[in-house]
Amino acid sequence: MIKISLFVYDFDGTLVDTFEDIANSVNRTLIEMNLQSLGRETIRQNIGSGVVNLMSRSLSGSGCNNIEAAVSLFQKHYSHHLLDQTKLYPNGREIVEHFSNKNNTILSNKPVVFIKKILETMSFLSPFDSILGGDSLDEQKPNPKGLQFLMKKYNCPAEKVLMVGDNAIDVETGKRAGVMTCGVTYGLGNPNLLRDSKPNFLIDNLSDLKLLFN
């Protein structure tokens, strides 16, 4: 058992299954822009690097490059539909509460207002000591600035920090900050890329964290 003082969780695909609502909002945006909607797998591959990258990738090959309009429309649609089908992954609530004596935080590339709205509606906001979204600082993952900010805020050395995420970006972020990393295989990220990123640990269910850390 490894002693951890600071847990840093990714959001989409790690704690919360937001895929259907994101995908539907992407396609609502494309249809409103008179563009072809995208298949689920294409959208899944576009998720993970923030809204601007999501919509940039979603416009790729469409002949339209009005990313600013696409981002604005996506945020409009998503703000109205972000809780239609979104749900916590199994054991998400339980594992955060299990480690309630630690600092539990979120580091995501998703706009922070969406994260807080989802968690608040799910009555799952209070267990988190800090929430950083893609617009909280001037850099996003895989830049380690957000992770370093949290480490400094809680005065926590790298060897007592764990970055948990479903995407190779999360593992790269953790490695660049010099902390331990744990990949989750059930999320939105490409499982092959996740394995290739060589996290320190790879788990199939968040409850497995109890077996590895204290």
Residue positions annotated with a catalytic role: 10
Q: CA 78 → CA 22, 102, 186, 207, distances in Å?
A: 7, 32, 23, 29
Cis peptide before 191 (omega within 30 of 0): no
Q: Is the Cβ–Cβ distance between 144 and 173 less than 8 Å? A: yes
Q: What is the CA radius of gyration of the chain?
A: 17
CB count, 10 Å around CB of 61? 10
In a 10 Å sphere around its CB, with 0-12 CB exposed, 13-18 middle and 19+ buried, how is residue 142 labelled? Answer: buried
Q: Is the Cβ–Cβ distance between 14 and 165 less than 8 Å? A: yes
| Euclidean distance between CA atoms 70 and 40, whole angstroms | 18
Contacts of 128 (CB under 8 A, 6+ apart): 96, 104, 105, 106, 119
Sign of torsion, CA 207 209 213 214? negative
